Amino acid sequence: MWGKAICERTFSSVNTLFCQYVAGYTGSDVTRRGRDVVAEAVWTLPQLQDLLDEWIVAGWQNRPHEGLRSPYLPGRELTPNEAYAVQVARAGYLPVPLAGEDYIELLPACWRAINDYGLVIGHRTYDCPELGPYRRKPSPVAAMRGRWEVHYDPYDLSRVWVRDQAGGGWITVFWKHLSTAPVPFGELAWDHARRQLAGDGRNPAEQEIVRAVQSLLQQAHQGPGKPGRPGRKTAKDRRVAARTTATAQPAWPRPEAPAGSGDPAAIPDEPPGPPEDKLADVVPLAVFDAREEARRWW
């Protein structure tokens, strides 16, 4: 792999410039760590991610690098931010908005087998007619032992997206209990309800978890109950319900659901109104071509 050396060098820089200064640093071996690193591990993973992000923005991006030099200033080492500014000033910048499929590419991914009943993620079953040609068949990705690439939204478990290795694009696969629990919710509410049901050591069925999530969301809608009456929630229940309510509506453009998918969101609640007045034709502006502009200057 031609980029392996660059990746390894970057990892080494992050290790020596950032990681070794963090409390609880274990080092590459026992000779490079403190006496009691477990007692010093005071950062959670989200806190550590915030520290890393802050260091990248304030430190790494503003650190001169010997490999970044301008032909007009060969004796000066540039920072990544300075080198980027020079390139934008020379060639221009063309912002390209993300489409719905681009957001799907950025979602978390997992690999699952497609069976006769569909696929299972987190004790939830997803299925749609478009999966018919791929049931009980291995994917072309041999490295994943025949499993298929699936992307999902942790804040909305109503659907997942399977990469169509044969036809290209994505297959939108809906949760089989979507008609039973149409209110959007995420992994936080699902995992919380499942842990409550599994408290006695048993493995709850999918339908039981659905009813528990519905009860949690219904209690969140009704507000806190009074002591000794149904509807009383713990502090954990209130936090889960509040976060679920805050992320109920997706904030990114989604591709249209395929016909016949059974998505309740595709069925309008009210009949369509009168047609709107036709707008004037839009005359598009010319798109700035950064490469062509650079050739003019060179």
Tell me what percent of the residues of the chain surpass a pLDDT of 90: 17
SS (H, E, C) 130-190: HHHHHCCCCCCCHHHCCCEEEEEECCEEEEEEEECCCCCCEEEEEECCCCCCCCCCCHHHH
The tens digit of pLDDT for each residue in 255-279 reads: 554 444 444 443 333 444 555 556 6
The tens digit of pLDDT for each residue in 55-110 reads: 999 889 999 988 888 888 888 899 999 988 888 888 887 778 888 888 899 999 99
The tens digit of pLDDT for each residue in 167-190 reads: 788 999 998 888 776 667 777 777
pLDDT value at position 22? 84
Q: What is the pTM of this model?
A: 0.52
Report the distance separating Cα 186 and Cα 8, nearest Å: 36
Q: Are 253 and 103 in contact (CB under 8 A)?
A: yes
Closest CA to 157 of 116, 225, 108, 198: 108
